[in-house]
Structure 1
Amino acid sequence: MPYYMFQWKYKNEAVKALVQTPQDRAAELRKVVQAFGGRLHEFFFAFGDYDGVSIVEFPNNERCAACATTLTGAGANDLFRTTVLLTGDEAKAALAMANATNPDYAPPTGYTHHS
């Protein structure tokens, strides 16, 4: 099954609610991910640009998108990002395919490579 990374930033009101009433947000995310046939691998709160990061797995993009839409539709986040992840083997296979296919792609006209 494909892997994905969810990253989110809570709205200020949601952070205030979490401070006033600490909650197991991993359990809530796990419940929603499982409802769409997925699996929650990791859940982290974070400092920096995002308040949280999780690694999830779904049977396909449609199920992941449905889950992400449900999460964003709940309205607690200022920002929610989904990133498709590749395993090392998947990346190696993609690189080999790119090498074997060699479609003779040309960069944009006028592009100059700067080292």
Structure 2
Amino acid sequence: MALYLSRFSYTPETWARLAGNPEDRRTAAGAYIESVGGSLHGFWYAFGTHDGYTLWEAPDHVSMATVAIALSSGGAIRSLETTVLLTVEETLDALRRVGQVQYRPPGS
């Protein structure tokens, strides 16, 4: 299974609802990813560009995209960015295979 790092920001209305009725959103986030056969490895709030970060594991990209689309279409999240994370082993495999690509820089 692949790992995914998501960065999200709530809408001001969502923050207002949470301030009026605080809840631990890890439970909901875990249920969303479990519905597609994955798991939630972490959930953090932050200061800065993004309001929070999640670390998910999903069986495939389509499963993760399904959750991301569901979250994005619900109206509570202002922005959601998801990055596929590679293991060190996967990166080493990619590095070993770089020579198979006969890349030529533009204009050379």
Cα deviations by residue, 1:32-85 (Å, 9 ceiling, x for unpaired): 110011110011011111111011011111111111111111111111111100
2:22 matched residue in structure 1? 22
1:109 aligns with 2:70: no
Aligned to 1:67: 67
Q: Match of 2:82?
A: 82
Q: Give me the CA root mean square deviation.
A: 1.2
Aligned to 2:32: 32
**In 1, Cα distance between the equivalents of 2:50 and 2:81?**
10
Residue identity in the other structure for 1:10:
Y
Deviations 1:81-109 (Å, cap 9, x if unpaired)?
A: 1110001111111111114x1x3312223
Q: Unaligned stretches of 5+ in structure 2?
A: none
2: distance between equivalents of 1:77 and 1:63? 19
Identify the residue that residue 7 of structure 2 maps to in structure 1: 7
Larger gyration radius, structure 1 or structure 2: 1
Separation in 1, partners of 2:21, 2:106: 53
Q: Which runs of 5+ in 1 are unaligned?
A: 111-115
Q: Kindly, what percent of the aligned residue pairs are identical?
A: 34
| TM-score (norm. length: structure 2) | 0.94
